[in-house]
Amino acid sequence: MPYKFEQLDVWKLSLEYIDSIYLMAEKLPKSEEYNLKSQIIRAATSISLNIAEGSTGQSDAEQARFLGMAIRSLIETVACQRLIQRRNYVQDEVFMKKVYEDSQGLARKLQSFRKFLLNASYKVKEETPEYGDDNLI
């Protein structure tokens, strides 16, 4: 049985966004290896990790809090993109525009999901997974 977060469209979308961020990071000069490259990858990864962490066994309010952290991490990647553009590190304007537009789509999904959880009149619960045969213990 998959984990709850693995079924979330917003989590799947965040994985696609991470793929784009990795492509962008690979285009950065070696001088940015431990600065912008590291920062943008960590921030993009944090988006997916916060979505996953917030989805498991938490209340809706707690899950919404983790989605808020995912949104903050997303905004951090956008700030990094602006710095990358300002320094002309990535020349492919079409690629940069697509990644930026993808960030906007992901931001909308995260914010909508967060708003839904905060306003939900019922609670979304994760099913307790069965991890194995208890007889083996």
Domain regions of the chain by residue span: 4-120
Interval 81-91: pLDDT, tens = 999 999 999 99
This prediction has a pTM of 0.84
Q: Write the CA distances from 124 to 1, 2, 36, 109, 121, integer angstroms.
A: 17, 16, 37, 17, 10
Helix, strand, coil percent content, the chain, rounded in steps of 5: 75, 0, 25
Range name among 1-10, 94-103, 104-113 with the lowest pLDDT average: 1-10
Interval 1-48: pLDDT, tens = 789 999 999 999 999 999 999 999 999 999 999 999 999 999 999 999
Alpha-carbon span 90 to 80, nearest angstrom? 12
Percent share of the chain, pLDDT over 70: 87
Tell me if the domain spanning 4-120 has CATH number 1.20.1440.60. yes
Q: Could you tell me if 46 and 14 are in contact, meaning their C-beta atoms sit under 8 angstroms apart?
A: no
